[in-house]
Amino acid sequence: MSFSAVTGCTSGTPNNTTQDKTASHSGVNEKSGDETKSIDSDGKKTNADVIVVYFSCTGNTRTIAKTIQNELNADIYEIKAKNPYTEDDIKYYTDCRADREQKDPSARPEIAGDLPDISGYNIVFLGYPIWHGQAPKIVYTFLESVDMSGKLIIPFCTSGSSPIGSSATNLHPLTSDAKWKDGKRFAAEASKEEIQSWISGLDLQNIK
Ligand SMILES: Cc1cc2nc3c(=O)[nH]c(=O)nc-3n(C[C@H](O)[C@H](O)[C@H](O)COP(=O)(O)O)c2cc1C
């Protein structure tokens, strides 16, 4: 009997080793650098406190998330599954675990560890891979578990080729009293310049 390897997607225990500025799982968020954040003309920093929340199984979305984090001097939180996804779990079109979860409207995979305290943030970048045209169900779990009221949510995703499509708008009903920007799909190999250009176009300096 063989066991498939657990992907870098998740682990049962919090792993902050790849996260230099991580929103604490204990509820106390580490602030990233300069407390008197201000925006410059390139949109590099913001007065609003920003957190990047993401889910990633094979690392593509993580790379984009970390670039956004660095560009905005933001904090970051990785959504990790309590039951980590193995390689077999994400072999899509094989009726794998991920395939079944995406088909099941009631699937809400559990999140590992404590949820972040996002009360101090105004802007939440929310990143995920496209799974069968939609956000993975664990993103639904997150949005149903964390109070997003008053936040501006900016979705982004990675995919093999699919556009962001309805994946972000289908998340809107899971939050109440939150504002959503249109989302952006990136290829796994998206350049830093493409991400910078997208951030600049968001006009974050005019967001209260
Ligand atoms: C279960 C599953 C379903 C997927 N469905 C799609 C899809 O509908 N369209 C697409 O372009 N890519 C699809 N992909 C590919 C991923 O969106 C793509 O590899 C993504 O960049 C992975 O992000 P990650 O490395 O952050 O996990 C799917 C992958 C998995 C595991």
pLDDT digits (tens, 9 = 90+) for 18-41: 334 455 333 333 444 444 455 455
Confidence of residue 58 (pLDDT cuts 50, 70, 90): very high
> Domain map of the chain by residue range?
45-206
Residue nearest atom 8 of ligand 1, based on CA coordinates: 132
Q: Is the C-beta atom of 82 inside 6 A of ligand 1?
A: no
Tell how far the Cα of 73 is from the centroid of ligand 1, in angstroms. 27
Model-level pTM?
A: 0.86
Ligand 1 atom closest to 160 (CA):
11
Write the pLDDT tens digit of every residue in 63-77.
999 999 999 999 999
- Position 78 scores a pLDDT of 98
Regarding the beta carbon of 92 and ligand 1, being less than 6 Å apart is answered yes
Structure tokens that stand for 155 in this block: 């979705």
Query: Which pLDDT belongs to residue 206?
Result: 79
Atom of ligand 1 nearest to the CA of 96: 1
Q: Which atom of ligand 1 is nearest to the CA of 57?
A: 27
Identify the pLDDT of residue 45.
54
User: Which residue stretches of the chain are H helix?
Assistant: 60-72, 97-103, 137-145, 192-201
Rounded to the nearest angstrom, the distance between the alpha carbon of 148 and the centre of ligand 1 is 26
Residue 207 Cα to ligand 1 midpoint, Å, equals 31
- Cα–Cα distance between 182 and 164 in angstroms, integer? 9
In this predicted structure, which of 43-52, 58-67, 171-180, 193-202 has the lowest mean pLDDT?
43-52
CATH superfamily of 45-206: Flavodoxin domain (3.40.50.360)
- Residue 207's pLDDT band, with cuts at 50, 70 and 90, is confident
Q: For the ranges 36-40, 132-136, 138-142, 146-150, which has the lowest average pLDDT?
A: 36-40
